[in-house]
Structure 1
Amino acid sequence: MTENYTALYDEHKKAGASFTDFGGWQMPLKYTSELAEHHAVRKSAGLFDLSHMGEVWVTGPDAGAFLDYALAGKLSSIAVGKAKYSLICNEDGGIIDDLISYRRSDEKYLVVPNAGNAVTVAAALAERAAGFDVVVDDVSAETSLIAVQGPNAEAILLGLVPAGQHELVTGLKYYAAVEVEINGQTLLLARTGYTGEDGFEIYVPNADAPGLWEALLDLGAAHGLIPAGLACRDSLRLEAGMPLYGNELSLEGDPFAAGLGPVVALSKEGDFVGKAALAAKKEAGAGSTSGRKLVGLKGLGRRAARGHYPVLKDGNVVGEVTSGQPSPTLGYPVAMAYVDVALSEIGTVLEVDLRGKAEAFEVVALPFYKRAK
């Protein structure tokens, strides 16, 4: 696999990062301690490089109608300035990716797929655009994405934004975006994230990313900001009950089993890719009366479950763990798993085969952690 490097790779090396391959990208796993980075995001702030994510602009008179056809959600209903979480599926209803789309004007959207799927999603959108008056422009290669996540994120951003634009930042709602002057440049600022905390994501040209990264670190130091890697991003998103493509979501899975039924707009007018297959899955009771369903599991002992570990009931395999580890915030093991629908009720006690030893886990509501507002 080709190794890709973000525009911030040298910044991570200077900070002493340990690297890992993620979706073909060399990304910082951690800088010092993944636990320290996790707690910083929960208590103060963490700075993330998300430049491995994709960015695809969709523009033209048919932009809304096209995305209604290409994606499972109703994107034409998003208000300008807002964002929507959605799925892109294949004809069989399998999930190609989960993504966020930002409506920037009546005829302009920014679609943001996940790192490992960015090329596939951009190609699928380009292919599905046939017959629509739209232009699909993949700008992933020239765009960096920097996230500031944590309770001090807003205060840090205000230090880089002119006083006259502070209300654009403080008034920005969750899942919304605005163009604002940051560190002397007009950039797209979104109030989104993948940590369960308040936070922002900033889209910046590659050439300007290192300067912005350094400015955020310098200014954020007084607010407890530290750089944070993928290891703590994973533990944070797991606590927040957020799915990860390749773990909870895949081509083999379906949105209903994953608890994402509300994301699928079967009632929207017209056809969309995968509609018939998804309607059939829902009609068959996927995730409600048949098959398996994604649940949260709380460890009743001290050992953590990990991805692909079997879930048991009375010695029989009834599911599989998709993600699991000790929760730094809560102090006990947590996991997400697909289990037989009949065993998915809150309070059900199951077991996970931890390499030959069965440990008790209880089905609990997701998310495991929810920030105080």
Structure 2
Amino acid sequence: MDNLKTSLYQKHKDLGAKIVPFGKYLMPLFYSGVKDEHFNTRNNASVFDVSHMGCVTVKGDDAAVFLNYITSNNVNKLYDSKIQYSCFLNHKGGIVDDLLIYMISANEYLLVINSNNIDKDISFMDHYSSNYEVKIKDFSSQISIMALQGPNSKYILNQFLNSCNLEIDLNKLNYYHFYKFKNKLIGDVIVSSTGYTGAGGFEIYVDNNYSNIIWDGLFSKGEEYGLKPAGLAARDTLRLEMGFCLYGNDINENCTPVEANLNFIIDLNKDFLGKDIVHNQISNGCEKKLIAFSLSEKGIPRKGYNILDEEDKVIGEVTSGTMSPSLSKGIGLAYIDVNFINKKCFLDIRGKKNMIIFEKLPFYKKK
């Protein structure tokens, strides 16, 4: 099967991006270079094409009740135009996927899910939906998503929206909230105050037919603010500096949100799949935990590298790692035996031991 292309694929080609397969899609890995795109996002603004992400609606009289059962967070805490970070859990408490839930109305929700999990997530929802009055629709292939990230994002987006004759006050759009509107120039649009970089900014959801108009419009307004395109590589270094989990690396069906330190998206004041397992771990502890670390000496942690104790016994494994552009040192996330947290441990880099330093997240703190 040939890889899919987003509606912005030709833009990436024309800009000279390094294109690589990512899941089912061909996506831009980088344009000018990872470090340049990383720092430009932190200091100015960048646009990421994240149209590979999945978009699913859940509608119906039982939409909230259904979602409350299959997700760990409490959907009843949402209100119109509010967003919630949550996860699907299986009956063993394992993370089927992490997701964002957008409340459109009391009976309609938009779920933004990971691209590699779209088919799995749809099957998961269908399996548990039979007893609920809900309709689940996957329209991922119809929607383009652009992440405009960085401290100058607000100025750029504000000017672009004004050029579309839209008077929207982005200063009133709080974090994890969104605006939904229709415009004759750019169609049906959702603008949310969300992102995966820790640099601030917005994510823009639009019909594929209007994506190139918005891309060009953002760059026409963004030139004076240092706007550049950025690829998946910089998105990964940015998210890792914040300690954000990546599905398939740091979280999967073999770990629980408690083990991944995601207790803030667990609400025990309701019933949900896997609750008994999760509740037990919160009450009695668990055998492994996701920890953040940096290296005491020069080196780069990589996924799959072992964490050792002082006697060279394997007590953990790296799930994500990189050389932090902002901190100029190796950083990573790893699951380790809880008995060794904050004790002397080492990263095994091809037979060479490099002592790790346990860190508190985020790695990168804004100045």
TM-score (norm 1): 0.93
What does the per-residue CA deviation read over 1:224-274, in whole Å, with 9 as the maximum and x for residues that have no partner? 110000000000000010000011001111111100123122221xx3222
Which of residues 239, 244, 249 is equivalent to 1:242?
244
What does the per-residue CA deviation read over 1:113-167, in whole Å, with 9 as the maximum and x for residues that have no partner? 0110122112222222212122111111111111100000101100111388555
Q: Please name the residue that 2:262 is paired with.
A: 260
Q: Please name the residue that 1:25 is paired with.
A: 25
Q: Please name the residue that 2:289 is paired with.
A: 293
What does the per-residue CA deviation read over 1:144-198, in whole Å, with 9 as the maximum and x for residues that have no partner? 1111000001011001113885553111011111124676544110000000111
Q: Please name the residue that 1:52 is paired with.
A: 52
Q: Please name the residue that 1:179 is paired with.
A: 180
TM-score (norm 2): 0.95
Q: Distance in 2 between matches of 1:178 and 1:93?
A: 33
- In the alignment, is residue 337 of structure 1 matched against residue 339 of structure 2? no
Higher mean C-alpha deviation, range 221-230 or range 118-127: 118-127
Q: Please name the residue that 2:302 is paired with.
A: 306
Q: Please name the residue that 2:318 is paired with.
A: 321
| Mapped contact 1:349–1:363 kept (Cα < 8 A) | no
- In the alignment, is residue 365 of structure 1 matched against residue 360 of structure 2? yes
Kindly report structure 1 stretches of 4+ aligned residues shifted beyond 6 Å. none
How many equivalent pairs are there?
A: 364
Find the residue that maps to 2:234 and give its secondary structure.
helix
Q: Please name the residue that 1:210 is paired with.
A: 212
For structure 1, list consecutive stretches of 5 or more residues without a partner in the other structure: none
Aligned partner letter, 1:6 = T
Aligned partner letter, 2:309 = K
For structure 2, list consecutive stretches of 5 or more residues without a partner in the other structure: none
Q: Distance in 2 between matches of 1:187 and 1:74?
A: 26
Q: Distance in 1 between matches of 2:365 and 2:126?
A: 38
1:342 Cα deviation after fit: 2.1
Find the residue that maps to 2:173 and give its secondary structure.
coil
Percentage of matched positions with identical amino acids: 37
Q: Distance in 2 between matches of 1:20 and 1:256?
A: 34
Find the residue that maps to 1:211 and give its secondary structure.
helix
Find the residue that maps to 1:257 and give its secondary structure.
coil
The 5 A counterparts of 1:120-269 are 120-162=120-162, 166-180=167-181, 184-268=186-270
Aligned partner letter, 2:300 = A
What does the per-residue CA deviation read over 1:64-87, in whole Å, with 9 as the maximum and x for residues that have no partner? 111001211111221211111001
Q: Distance in 2 between matches of 1:241 and 1:109?
A: 27
